[in-house]
């Protein structure tokens, strides 16, 4: 049975879902201050959806991209401090350039079509 994306997960469920041993998850909580799952009675951990995303990001940085724990911590801290408007602008700027280039090409094509139609009408 798979839980809904918005559901809380216990450490065991998250461990099985992401194939990360529970002791590694507990260690990451010590190493990454931004990873703070809810702790209920008996110190049972419950990971919120944003905690799950954080664990996935940490796992990717450490195991796929080769970051050290210190490097991953710096990366996550820098990303957290960076305002969303800057993040949006860094993504939007290249997209805007592409859109402007496409507009220019489309305008050229439309002018060519207009000129051809004008020539055809004058000849008719």
Q: Specify whether 90 is located in the same domain as 77.
A: no
Cα-based distances in Å from 93 to 22, 89, 104, 106: 41, 6, 17, 20
* Sign for the pseudo-dihedral over CA of 60, 5, 9, 1: negative
* Confidence at residue 48, expressed as pLDDT on a 0 to 100 scale: 92
* pLDDT tens-digit series, residues 80-119: 776 555 555 655 666 556 656 667 777 888 888 888 888 9
Asked if 62 and 69 count as a contact pair (C-beta separation under 8 A), the reply is yes
Print the domain residue range for 101: 83-124
The CATH number assigned to the domain holding 26 equals 1.10.1660.10
Q: Does 26 score more than 80 pLDDT?
A: yes
> Number of folded domains in the chain?
2
User: What's 42's DSSP letter?
Assistant: G
What pLDDT does 2 receive? 65
Could you write out the DSSP letters of every residue in 90-102?
HHHHHHHHHHHHH
49 lies in the same domain as 108? no
Whether residue 72 sits in one domain with residue 14: yes
Q: In angstroms, what CA-CA distances link 86 with 10, 92, 93? A: 34, 10, 10
**Residue of 52 and 2 predicted with greater confidence:** 52
Give the confidence band of 54 by pLDDT, cuts at 50, 70, 90.
very high
Average pLDDT value for residue range 8-25: 94
Q: Do the domain assignments include residue 2?
A: no
Tokens of 44: 């049972």
Identify whether residues 69 and 113 lie together within a single domain: no
């Amino acid at each position: 049975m798979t839980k809904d994306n918005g559901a809380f997960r216990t450490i065991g469920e998250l461990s099985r879902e992401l194939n990360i041993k529970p002791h590694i998850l507990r260690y990451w909580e010590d190493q990454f201050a931004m990873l703070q799952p809810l702790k209920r009675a008996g110190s049972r951990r419950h990971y919120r959806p944003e905690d799950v995303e954080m664990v996935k990001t940490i796992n990717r940085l450490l195991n796929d991209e080769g970051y050290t724990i210190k490097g991953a911590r710096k990366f996550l801290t820098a990303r957290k401090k960076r305002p969303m408007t800057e993040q949006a602008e860094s993504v939007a700027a290249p997209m805007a350039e592409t859109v402007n280039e496409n507009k220019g090409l489309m305008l050229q094509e439309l002018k060519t079509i207009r000129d051809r139609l004008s020539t055809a009408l004058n000849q008719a």
